Structure 1
Amino acid sequence: MTLRSEAFLDEVKERGEYGSRPEAQRAARVVLALLGAHLVGEVRAGLAARLPEDFALILLNPLQSAEPLSSERFVRATAAWIEGATEQTAAWDVSAVLSTVADAAGDELLAQILLQLPAGYDLLFGHPQPI
């Protein structure tokens, strides 16, 4: 079941404690564009199917990444794409968006997503994995 765009953004807005929906939308667009570059095949398509259409399109047409970014570099890349962001605010943005994505994905798909990502992303999604 896909979330409606407003419901998805309201969830990101609440988790990120943003003052407005456009702020939440900006964070969601950047984080999903970067995330899309790291996911492939059925996993990316499966996640896209659970997101609102406008965000699914961002995930499916990602920013290009020459290599998988570590979780730390993912946060730094997010900061670079959001005007006025610092690494601290970008970490907050990433967490707000990816924890919302994790809820939309569900446990089974999230496990598949994490298998495609470098170590450390479990924390960004708000789902620490046992070591």
Structure 2
Amino acid sequence: MTYEQMLEAVRYEGAYSGTERAAETVERVLAALGRRLTGAERADLAARLPLQAALAFTAQVPSYEKLTGWGFVKDIAARSGTSPATARWDTGAVLSVVARLAGPDLLARILRSLPAGYALLFGQIDLNAGRTGA
């Protein structure tokens, strides 16, 4: 997938009026994901993203602060000055496309490496929701 195709897919998923809004959203969400993902999953995902998207993703220094999926959305909202609802919408539009680019095996590894609550952001069923340890 080219970067332009990615933007068009995000524009469609997010129901944005143009690719300019999609591009801003892609950069914002991938930068946030770049602060959360480390290790082989980070490198493997970067290799599957279009170059411009990979640059936005890898330009961020990973943070070792663990944020749940909801914390991730709130962080995006705070950094972008948008509402949590808008940040959640934007996140879903971008990460659903990222999920397709990653493929099922890499996506499963990514979700295992992140704290709870990210599966739904990637458009996946969260099989661990509501479970307690034991």
Query: Do these two structures clear the TM 0.5 threshold for a shared fold by scoring above it?
Result: yes
Q: What SS does structure 2 have at the residue aligned with 1:62?
A: coil
CA contact (8 A) 1:34 1:63 kept: no
Which residue is 1:124 aligned to? 121
**How many residues get paired?**
128
- Taking only aligned residues, the RMSD between alpha carbons, in angstroms, comes to 1.3
1:114 lines up with 2:111 in the alignment:
yes
Q: State the Cα distance separating 1:80 from its structure 2 match.
A: 2.0
Could you say if the C-alpha distance between residues 63 and 17 of structure 1 is closer, same or farther in structure 2, counting changes exceeding 3 Å?
A: farther
Percent of aligned positions that are identical: 44
Stretches of structure 2 lacking an aligned partner (at least 5 in a row): 129-134
Q: State the Cα distance separating 1:65 from its structure 2 match.
A: 3.1
Q: State the Cα distance separating 1:63 from its structure 2 match.
A: 5.4
Which residue is 2:131 aligned to? none
CA contact (8 A) 2:37 2:62 kept: no
Q: State the Cα distance separating 1:119 from its structure 2 match.
A: 0.8
CA contact (8 A) 2:38 2:62 kept: no
CA distance in 2, matches of 1:18, 1:81: 20
CA distance in 2, matches of 1:50, 1:68: 24
Q: What SS does structure 2 have at the residue aligned with 1:107?
A: helix
Stretches of structure 1 lacking an aligned partner (at least 5 in a row): none
Quick check: which has more Rg, 1 or 2?
2
Q: State the Cα distance separating 1:82 from its structure 2 match.
A: 2.5
Using the TM superposition, name which of 63-72 and 5-14 deviates more: 63-72
Which residue is 1:89 aligned to? 86
